Every structure is written in C-alpha cells, then in structure tokens.
Amino acid sequence: MNTWLPPRHFAAAAAAVLALTACGGTGGSPNASGSTPAAPGTPAPSSATSAPSATASPTPGTPTSPQTPAEPGATPNGTPPLGSWSLQPVWPFSTLAQAEAWQRSYRSGGHQPWHLDPGRTALAFTRDYLGFREIDRVSSSKVSGRHARVGVAPTGSEGGTAAVIHLVRFGTGPDAPWEVVGTDDTTFSLTAPAYGALVRSPLTAGGRITGVDESIHVQVRQPSSEAPLGTSACCTPAGGENQPWSVTVPFSGARDPVLTVVASTGGHVAAVERFTVTAVRTR
C-alpha cells in the first residue's frame, strides 16, 4: 500500500489581507468573457475547513521539494499577486476578470457557490480538470487567511492522500473565489520545468520520487480544453529513495496563458495513487 502526502508548495508568504492582481491581459484567454466551469458533480465536504476523513495533514518538518522562492516585491506577511512568477492561476479561472465576473454573478443570483469552498474546488480540479475520477474525497484541509491546503484521496482503506492542493483567494472581498495555484510535494515532486517558466514544445518534465515499481505518466493541460495538449509515452518506470526521473512531452494547441503540467503514478492499489502539479506559461 502506498500512503503518501504529495505535491507542491509554492512559496507564497503566510497570507494576511492583500488584494490579488490579474494574472495577465484578458485577451490571452479564450474564457476572458468571465465564463466559469460547471459546478462539479462531487459531493462537498461538510465545511470548507473540515475534512470528511481522518487522514492526517502533513507533519511539520516533513521534507518538501525545492520550491519557487518568494516574490521579491512581496511584503514578509503578504501574498504575492496571482500572475506573478511565484504564484500562477492554474484553475478554474485564467484571469482576474473571470474571477470578478463570477463574484458578480454570485452576488446577484448565488451562482456556483462551490467556488467559495476550497474542498469542493480541490476535488473539482482533481476529478473534472485533471480527469482523476477515482479520487473522490477530502483527506485533510487547512485554511490560513487567504491560503488553503487540501488533501485529496481515493475512497477505500488503502487509499492514502494522493496530493495536497494549494489554493489562494483570487480577488478581493469575503466572497473572493478559491483558485488552485499548485501542489505541496513530499515524496513525489515535479521540479522541471520550473514553476512559472516560459515553455515551448517539447518540454522536459522531471523531479524526484520515492517508491517501489512506480510508473510515471505526464500530461500538459489548459483550462479551456477538455483533452490534454500532450501526454508522455506510458509509462516511465521509476523507484528507489529520492531518485530522479525525467520524461519528454510534446504538446500542441496551447491558447491559454498558463498551462498545467501534471505527473501521476500508481498501479499498486489504484490507477492514480499520487500526483504532482506545476504551472508554466506560454507567454
């Protein structure tokens, strides 16, 4: 049984109240009109800060993968703006304009309230965007100011936490929606390409992994497309203690300013047992 607490920790400082700015011009996004994804079909946890299972959150001091350094212009107690090189908007909104359009629709008609729940947003990201349908529960949840870290896991006694997803409030006000910005990594990391890097096809993805008989699969995705823009050949064998792994992934059809690179491994008790995510830019 593999029981892991993965992915990636983007170095946003501990958040106080700081308005988040736009991640780029709305002209670069096909969804700049403000449309948002349909509400996820997965059930929500009972509250945004409580988890429906007893799986523990990461233990303080647990080693994590190298992370992007803090934004030079950020204050020690502030959050770097979304769209800066240290904090990229991954999903569900590509721009601040989209997040603000949802706020207006929510205030006027209560539309898609799941955007205010970090647990539901994390599950929708995992199941509806990444396509990992077998991961269907929140295993841990911690909200601190404008930041949330939500563990997600498959159902079953042998299903450990597959990833810890990092979310940040996108916009201002108490009804600013939650935005995925990446994952916190422990035993399975994705360190190349670097977070926020400008990429072209083909890209070389890589990192480090601890495990036995692992099988790594990498995809490149964008929020405006249902299908992946590119996938690695299935699958890259890996294993050992903190061993490097690497694979080349060709991709095409990129339109969104921010792309998602996701690496997953599994095959012991579930198709996807761990995954890790990074954000890269096309312009």
pLDDT tens-digit readout, 8-59: 333 333 333 333 333 333 333 333 333 344 444 443 333 333 333 333 333 3
Reduced to 3 states (helix: H, G, I; strand: E, B; else coil), residue 93 is: coil
Domain-located, residue 12 = no
What pLDDT does 104 receive? 96
Domain-located, residue 11 = no
Backbone angles phi, psi at 147, to 5 degrees: -115, 145
If one counts the domains in the chain, the total is 1
Domain-located, residue 42 = no
> Among 197, 170, 151, which Cα is nearest to 45's?
151
Domain-located, residue 226 = yes
Domain-located, residue 6 = no
What pLDDT does 157 receive? 61
Domain-located, residue 44 = no
Q: What CATH number should be reported for the domain holding residue 79? A: 2.60.40.2550
User: What residues of the chain score a pLDDT lower than 70?
Assistant: 1-81, 83-85, 157-159
191 contacts 199 by C-beta, under 8 angstroms: no
What pLDDT does 93 receive? 96
Domain-located, residue 134 = yes
Q: How far is CA 135 from CA 64, 116, 153, 228, in A?
A: 22, 21, 5, 19
Domain-located, residue 94 = yes
pTM of the predicted protein model: 0.73
* Range of the structural domain that residue 220 is part of: 66-281
The end-to-end CA distance of the chain, in Å, is 41
Indicate the pairing of strand 178-184 with strand 274-281. Answer: unpaired
What pLDDT does 268 receive? 81
| Six token digits for residue 186 | 């422990």
Q: How far is CA 102 from CA 34, 43, 89, 188, 270, in A?
A: 7, 21, 15, 34, 35
What pLDDT does 77 receive? 42
What pLDDT does 31 receive? 35
Assign residue 110 a region (left: φ > 0; alpha: ψ between -120 and 50; beta: otherwise).
Answer: left
